[in-house]
Amino acid sequence: MEEIKTKKCAKCGAIKPLEDFPKLAKSPDGRNSYCKECQKAYTKQWVADHPERAKATAKKSRDKHKDALTKKRRKDRAEKPEVFLKYSRDFSEKNPDKILLYEARKRAKEFGLPCTITEEDIVIPEFCPILRVRLIRGAIDNNRDSCPSLDRIRPELGYVKGNVAVMSYRANRIKNDATADEHRRIADWMDAQTQSTQEFNVIDPELIEFGRGLGERLLENTKRAIDEAVTGLAQIPVGSYFDKNPRLAPMSLSPAQTKEAA
């Protein structure tokens, strides 16, 4: 039977199998002096104590292994598209400003425009300032209309401080590169077209139904009121009324006749 190689941890003093120590090429036995558990706790503490240096070290490592990381990401994406999709959706939901900045930088490069804004310049409101719809964070597969989108107020100036605004994707798409005057002309023209074709407009069927109901109820109430009035009149003895007001009696009814009728 093969003997299991062990090692004593320089931190906690526990004797553990060699595999429980991280690999370290420059060490004589090829393993770290701290066990995996102790090394993990030590690193965590060091990162907490030195946030700036930890950030720089992480960036250096990322830059050094950039090609390998890109390759791995591509491989993961191809092998597990659903995991990748969920990750990217979660990320864009939590960091919509980062996504907008990333897209702005890409577009600026594409169109040869300046892009000097930072994340702080991207303020995402709850509602689209133009169309008033609630802005939905996170990618939506088929309908991007309500997603936040970064607009260049004057497109030719690029993504610079004071020239960006967040609005719905739909508002941005409609605004495009038109001037305010051009938009007004389009709106005026659309209004004019709508007025000239008003007679062809289809009336809301719900409104027609409402009107019909209202008319029917009115007619019913009127009928009931007439019925009640007629019934009430019929209950008054005709003779007694004309006896008291003989001058009002119809010419065809003499006081004697009215007595008979009663």
**Closer Cβ to Zn ion, 12 or 153, answer by number:** 12
Burial class (CB in 10 A: 0-12, 13-18, 19+), 176: exposed
Each residue 37-76 as x (binds Zn ion by CB under 5 A) or -, in order, gives: -x--------------------------------------
CB of residue 27 vs Zn ion: minimum separation in angstroms?
Answer: 15
Using the contact rule CB under 5 A, the part of the chain among 32-40, 80-88, 154-162, 203-211 near Zn ion is: 32-40
Angstrom CA distances, 66 to 11, 55, 78, 79, 211, stand at 33, 16, 18, 20, 70
- CB nearer to Zn ion: give 4 or 78: 4
Stretch that binds Zn ion, among 8-16, 61-69, 126-134, 176-184 (CB under 5 A): 8-16
Q: Which of 5, 6, 8, 12: binder of Zn ion (CB under 5 A)?
A: 12
Q: Can you tell me which residue has the tokens 């009336």?
A: 203
Q: For Zn ion, which is the closer residue by CB, 17 or 213? A: 17
Look-up of token digits 């005026």: 188
Distance CA(148)–CA(166), nearest Å, equals 6
176: left (phi > 0), else alpha (psi -120 to 50), else beta?
Answer: left
Q: Pick from 11, 53, 94, 184: which binds Zn ion (CB under 5 A)?
A: 11
165 binds Zn ion (CB under 5 A): no
In the chain, what are the helix, strand and coil shares in percent, each to the nearest 5? 60, 10, 30
Footprint of Zn ion on this chain (CB under 5 A)? 9, 11-12, 35, 38
